[in-house]
């Protein structure tokens, strides 16, 4: 029991009674479900900070089995996402994945960082939204322990002619091995470089590149199929 101060993002909100809310906050130490009493009252100091996608600093009281939100300081509400249906749908899609892969009492610092960086890109830029989701998904898979092998063929270990991606075997395959595996996807040199960059780039730099529309579609397909396979669920 006692008070907890933490930064986090509201990843879910549900109305309770006439004026209360239940919210789920993604923090650096896992997600926390808590009650926000009176948050729906017109003059409530909790109103802005308990909205979906709000990033803020939260003061929580931990009881025996529950958390109560006492106060919050709003840092970013992502207004540009709220007023654009396409951006809102994109943010909702990545949030669904975040909800599924996080839990209480879990080290989610890097996941929170990726999530926050992605929301800023969606809100502040005109970057292709499907491209954003592709990058987000592949980087998230790395954080969850599904980093593809990219330095050599996952089958024969050669470093030459890595022009195939194996969903099942988690990484690049050379031309000879790739042609013998019906579960691989042939990729361009640009897509290969993009996958390598997404895996290795510093957290704040992963969105700092572009590629042709054809290669974006290739990356999107790999990212989507790889994520769905590893998480055993169909995501948009």
Q: What is the pLDDT of residues 73-123, one digit of tens each?
A: 999 999 999 999 999 999 999 999 999 999 999 999 999 999 999 999 999
Domain with CATH 1.20.1440.120 in the chain: 80-231
Q: Kindly tell me if the per-residue pLDDT of 207 is higher than 80.
A: yes
What was the pLDDT predicted at 41? 93
| pLDDT-based confidence at residue 130 (cuts at 50, 70, 90) | very high
Mean of the per-residue pLDDT values for the chain?
A: 96
What was the pLDDT predicted at 142? 98
pLDDT digits (tens, 9 = 90+) for 93-107: 999 999 999 999 999
pTM metric for this prediction: 0.95
Domain with CATH 2.40.50.140 in the chain: 2-78
**CATH T-level assignment (fold) for domain 80-231:** de novo design (two linked rop proteins) (1.20.1440)
Query: C-alpha distances in angstroms, 222 versus 1, 9, 39, 134, 137?
Result: 46, 28, 42, 8, 10
Q: Kindly tell me if the per-residue pLDDT of 8 is higher than 90.
A: yes
Mean pLDDT calculated for residue range 131-135 = 98
The CATH number of 2-78, from 3.40.50.300, 3.40.50.2300, 3.30.70.260, 2.40.50.140, is 2.40.50.140
């Amino acid at each position: 029991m006692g008070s907890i101060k933490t930064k986090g993002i509201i990843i879910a909100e549900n109305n309770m009674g006439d004026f209360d809310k239940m919210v789920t906050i993604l923090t650096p130490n896992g997600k926390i479900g808590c009650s926000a009493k009176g948050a729906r009252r017109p003059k409530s100091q909790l109103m802005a900070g308990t909205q979906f996608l709000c990033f803020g600093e939260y003061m929580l009281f931990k009881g025996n089995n529950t958390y109560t939100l006492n106060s919050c300081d709003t840092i970013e509400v992502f207004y540009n996402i709220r007023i654009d249906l396409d951006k809102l749908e994109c943010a909702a899609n990545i949030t669904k994945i975040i909800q599924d892969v996080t839990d209480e009492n879990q080290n989610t610092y890097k996941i929170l960082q990726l999530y926050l960086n992605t929301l800023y890109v969606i809100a502040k830029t005109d970057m292709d939204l499907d491209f954003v989701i592709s990058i987000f998904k592949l980087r998230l898979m790395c954080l969850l322990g599904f980093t593809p092998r990219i330095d050599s063929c996952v089958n024969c270990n050669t470093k030459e002619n890595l022009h195939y991606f194996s969903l099942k075997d988690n990484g690049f395959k050379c031309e000879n091995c790739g042609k013998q595996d019906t579960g691989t996807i042939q990729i361009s040199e640009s897509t290969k470089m993009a996958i390598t960059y997404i895996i290795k780039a510093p957290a704040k730099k992963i969105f700092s590149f572009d590629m042709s529309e054809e290669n974006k579609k290739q990356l999107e397909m790999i990212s989507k199929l790889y994520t769905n396979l590893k998480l055993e669920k169909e995501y948009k």
